[in-house]
Structure 1
Amino acid sequence: MFRAPGCCELDQQKGEQIRLHFQPAARALALAAAMALAACSGKGEQPEGGGPGGGRGGPVQVGFVVVRQTSVPLVTELAGRTVAYQSSEVRPQVSGVIQKRFFKEGTIVQRGQPLYQIDPSLYRAAVNEASANVASARATAEAARVRADRFRPLAEIEAVSKQDYTDAVASQRQAEASIAQNRAQLETARVNLRFTTVPAPITGRIGRSIFTVGALVTTSQADPLATIQQLDPIFVDIQQSAADLLQLRRRMAAGGVLPANATVRLKLEDGSDYGATGVVEFSEVVVDQQTGTVTLRARFPNPNGLLLPGMFVRAVFAQAIETNAFLVPQQAVSRDPQGNATVWLVGQNNKVQQRKVETVRTEGADWVVTGGLRAGDKVITQGTANLSDNASVKPVPANTPQQPKPPSPEQLKQQQKAKGKGD
């Protein structure tokens, strides 16, 4: 077949272009086939130690803690309200018009300090009148005494009748009794005069004055003149459910729970901690019929006056102490389908077993367990995800750093193949 000069060179150039055009596609097809083959060959394989029981790589490593029986306080947080340590209403004991006020509202007043001055004119006049009555009674009594003394010798010689002498003695005694009556009236008038100056009944911070100068006050009025409250120390009335208190007392009676030192901490309305601690003074012996609660009263120092009467607070305190409890980290406790609390334990021959426990509450990062555990049990806290009963494990103390295992020969071969195909 005849070919023109230069045709061979053209055919060679065209073939080279076709080969270069299809070479990337062929390489991509070859790489996809190799990856599919690798996936099929590795199907169903697991890394060493990946099974629940450890697989071909040996038992799975778990972290455990050894539990010890300890005493745990039974901490309770309850709502409370502040109450003044002492509170006194300033009231008038005599009627009259207020002439002066001797205090500044909102300041500290001392017991016995004058607060108000009521017009004393009428009461001073009553004192003067009672004093004059006493003097008149004394004069009358003196005359009766002299008359009786004169009748005594005359009656003895029968110069006067004995009846006259008896009447003279009776008049003398009646005059002496009149003196005593008038003295009592004088003392009453002096007391009323003293009551015209209204003193502070207690030491504390006085509030606003309800009555001003010039107001008429009486002993039977409904409103007090002012109110004084002692705020250092201060009381906090804590409300606790009667059912909770009954349950606590039953647990104490059954044993295992002891009464605790009733030291109380306060949380204020903004969530901050008050700082100073208080003590429980007493518990009411009756249950409120409307709320079903019992009132516990605690006393707190309040030197800066931060706590004011009527404030709502939260009281945190330990009512009792659990003497047979165990503290178990929260991550070690799980729930079964029935809702029971369970833990994994390291048993004999490093076989794991699941056990039900009784959890009552949390204490920080731990559960308080009161049943189901014994002192010295090894509770698994790490590596509990794929455990099963009687599975073999490699127990180590919790938080022990785990050493990475070197790859197996099969894994190295697969890594080299994947690296070569990528290149």
Structure 2
Amino acid sequence: METRDAQAVFGVGNQTRISQARFRRNHFPLPSGPLRHFGTVPKRLAGIGLLLTALVLSGCKTKAEGPPAPGLPEVATVTLEQEPVTLTTELPGRTSAYLVAEIRPQVNGLIQSRQFQEGSNVKAGDLLYQIDPAPYQAALAQAKAALTTAEAELVTAEANLPALRSRAERLKTLAATRAAAQQDADDAGAALRQAEANLAARKASVEINRAALDSARINLSYTPIHAPISGRIGISNITVGALAAAYQLTPLAVIQQLDPIYVDVVQSNAELLRLRSRLKSGQLKPDSSFQRKVKLSLEDKSIYPYDGTLQFRDVTVDPTTGSITLRLVFPNPNNVLLPGMFVRALVQEGINQQALLAPQQGVARDTKGLPYAWIVGKDDKVEQRTLELDRAIGDKWLVTSGLEAGDRIIVEGLQKVRPGDRVRVVPAPQPETKGKSHV
């Protein structure tokens, strides 16, 4: 009885499970194709999850591997070589006329005429102004008359003197023998001395009148005003009919000789001392053939076509600026250079036979402003060098310390390297500058 009851119970349970399975087949049919083997919905969902997990893990693995490791960083270098360089110093200065003549009248008078064109070239001796000569002609005539009178009086005095001298001697002799009164002898002697004094006065009067005549003649010669030098004359500061005063402060005009022309430049006394020290130590070799040759740079950066020469250095240092003046002379046949122009003179110092020129793009400065460079050293490893620079020469630096001939200085790829890194070196093209002069 118990057994049948249990079977009945279990039979009912089986029937129930069978009914549930039929319901799922009818309402949730199995998919056809490859997913059929996944079975029921939970199993299918589990399979899909496993598949997605595999894909994610596969992607992560691919990302973790990444591209292959890069090679050595590539840098471009320039190998430094010693070369002869002609060093020059650029000094500022201004032009000044070779000769300057300020035209001033030497006598008073009215300007009768002006005989030149303003801004034209004049020659020495050319007539510039004419002052009214009439007063000075009259003064000359008066001086001539006075001289003639004085000379006549001198002749009269000289003619009377022998007679007075003879009478005085005769009366003196007679008075000694008491043949004539002593008073007469004394009067004759006094008259002789007076005649001699009058003769001396007449001679002095002649000399005075002769000097007055010379002065009148000179004053008359000053009425035409001539050019003392050849050159270009500027603006006339006086017009015809105006009164000119002798040696007045304002010149009537100014003549300037512009060919050749001076260029006065200033040089620091410290620079001059350093130059002398380098020449003495042998760092610079003087070139006697070109040492005194100077080039000129104009305000528009163009180079003046004619070379100048160094005439002299001043012997006094300006205490306010600590500099000395150098005077240069340049030919100026076309009057390109005018007085007062600002120019820069390129003065040659000497030749550095073992100069090292480093490209400017390979030199940097630290936070303190000190220059340094990156060098490819032994085993192609990067090194940092602190430098001492002299000056810029074109697009390069003249290096005095920190580099040697044969060093490879990095000019490209600096952002890729650090000290101690190994690099792959590629030579950088550089212009040929050997044997040329540098400014």
Confirm or deny a common fold (TM above 0.5).
yes
Give the conservation status (yes or no) of the 8 Å contact 1:65–1:381.
Answer: no
2:68 alignment partner, SS class = coil
2:236 alignment partner, SS class = coil
Give the conservation status (yes or no) of the 8 Å contact 1:76–1:319.
Answer: no
Give the conservation status (yes or no) of the 8 Å contact 2:88–2:346.
Answer: no
* Residue 188 of structure 1, CA deviation: 0.4
Query: In the aligned structure 2, how far is the partner of 1:252 from the partner of 1:311?
Result: 32
Alignment of 1:130-169 (within 5 A): 130-157=143-170, 158=173, 161-169=188-196
2:195 alignment partner, SS class = helix
* 1:235 alignment partner, one of 257, 262, 267: 262
Alignment of 1:17-96 (within 5 A): 40=63, 43=66, 45-47=68-70, 50-52=71-73, 63-68=77-82, 70-78=84-92, 80-96=93-109
Query: In the aligned structure 2, how far is the partner of 1:337 from the partner of 1:100?
Result: 72
2:165 alignment partner, SS class = helix
* Residue 256 of structure 1, CA deviation: 3.8
* Residue 97 of structure 1, CA deviation: 1.3
* Residue 244 of structure 1, CA deviation: 5.6
Tell me the residue number matched to 1:118.
131
Query: In the aligned structure 2, how far is the partner of 1:119 from the partner of 1:217?
Result: 10
* 2:358 alignment partner, one of 316, 328, 343: 328
Give the conservation status (yes or no) of the 8 Å contact 1:69–1:375.
Answer: no
* Residue 314 of structure 1, CA deviation: 3.4
Decide whether aligned partners of structure 1 residues 185 and 384 sit closer, same or farther in structure 2, where only a CA change above 3 A counts: same
Tell me the residue number matched to 1:171.
198
Query: In the aligned structure 1, how far is the partner of 2:127 from the partner of 2:374?
Result: 75
Query: In the aligned structure 2, how far is the partner of 1:262 from the partner of 1:317?
Result: 8
Query: In the aligned structure 1, how far is the partner of 2:369 from the partner of 2:384?
Result: 14
Query: In the aligned structure 1, how far is the partner of 2:322 from the partner of 2:213?
Result: 55
Q: What amino acid sits opposite 2:131 in the alignment?
A: I
Q: What amino acid sits opposite 1:374 in the alignment?
A: E
* Farther off after superposition, 181-190 or 201-210: 201-210
* Farther off after superposition, 102-111 or 66-75: 66-75
* Residue 46 of structure 1, CA deviation: 2.5
Tell me the residue number matched to 1:105.
118
* Residue 279 of structure 1, CA deviation: 3.0
* Residue 216 of structure 1, CA deviation: 1.6
Give the conservation status (yes or no) of the 8 Å contact 2:75–2:410.
Answer: no
Decide whether aligned partners of structure 1 residues 316 and 194 sit closer, same or farther in structure 2, where only a CA change above 3 A counts: same
Give the conservation status (yes or no) of the 8 Å contact 1:63–1:395.
Answer: yes
Alignment of 1:360-371 (within 5 A): 360-371=390-401
Query: In the aligned structure 2, how far is the partner of 1:105 from the partner of 1:334?
Result: 57
2:238 alignment partner, SS class = coil
1:126 alignment partner, SS class = helix
Query: In the aligned structure 1, how far is the partner of 2:144 from the partner of 2:411?
Result: 93
Decide whether aligned partners of structure 1 residues 335 and 178 sit closer, same or farther in structure 2, where only a CA change above 3 A counts: closer
Alignment of 1:288-303 (within 5 A): 294-303=324-333
* Residue 38 of structure 1, CA deviation: 10
Q: State the TM-score, normalizing by the size of structure 2.
A: 0.69
2:157 alignment partner, SS class = helix
Query: In the aligned structure 2, how far is the partner of 1:326 from the partner of 1:239?
Result: 28
* Residue 235 of structure 1, CA deviation: 2.2
Q: What amino acid sits opposite 1:118 in the alignment?
A: I
Decide whether aligned partners of structure 1 residues 354 and 169 sit closer, same or farther in structure 2, where only a CA change above 3 A counts: same
Tell me the residue number matched to 1:341.
371
Give the conservation status (yes or no) of the 8 Å contact 1:147–1:168.
Answer: yes
* 1:279 alignment partner, one of 309, 327, 330: 309
* Deviation by residue 1:306-352 (Cα, 9 ceiling, x = unmatched): 22222333334345665664212233334456554333445456655
* Farther off after superposition, 383-392 or 212-221: 383-392
* Residue 363 of structure 1, CA deviation: 0.8
Q: State the TM-score, normalizing by the size of structure 1.
A: 0.71
* Residue 360 of structure 1, CA deviation: 2.9
CA-based RMSD = 3.8
* Deviation by residue 1:78-128 (Cα, 9 ceiling, x = unmatched): 3x3322222221111111111122222221111121111111111111111
* Residue 209 of structure 1, CA deviation: 1.9
Unaligned runs of at least 5 residues, structure 2: 1-32, 34-54, 175-184, 431-439
Query: In the aligned structure 1, how far is the partner of 2:413 from the partner of 2:239?
Result: 77
Q: What amino acid sits opposite 2:216 in the alignment?
A: A
1:86 alignment partner, SS class = strand
Query: In the aligned structure 2, how far is the partner of 1:155 from the partner of 1:337?
Result: 112
Give the conservation status (yes or no) of the 8 Å contact 1:137–1:178.
Answer: yes
Q: Which has the larger radius of gyration?
A: 2
* Residue 369 of structure 1, CA deviation: 0.3
* Farther off after superposition, 341-350 or 141-150: 341-350
Query: In the aligned structure 2, how far is the partner of 1:94 from the partner of 1:188?
Result: 11
Decide whether aligned partners of structure 1 residues 272 and 374 sit closer, same or farther in structure 2, where only a CA change above 3 A counts: closer
1:133 alignment partner, SS class = helix
Q: What amino acid sits opposite 1:107 in the alignment?
A: S
* Farther off after superposition, 179-188 or 139-148: 139-148
Query: In the aligned structure 1, how far is the partner of 2:252 from the partner of 2:361?
Result: 63
Query: In the aligned structure 2, how far is the partner of 1:231 from the partner of 1:243?
Result: 32
Tell me the residue number matched to 2:220.
193
Query: In the aligned structure 1, how far is the partner of 2:386 from the partner of 2:319?
Result: 40
Decide whether aligned partners of structure 1 residues 51 and 339 sit closer, same or farther in structure 2, where only a CA change above 3 A counts: farther
Tell me the residue number matched to 1:204.
231
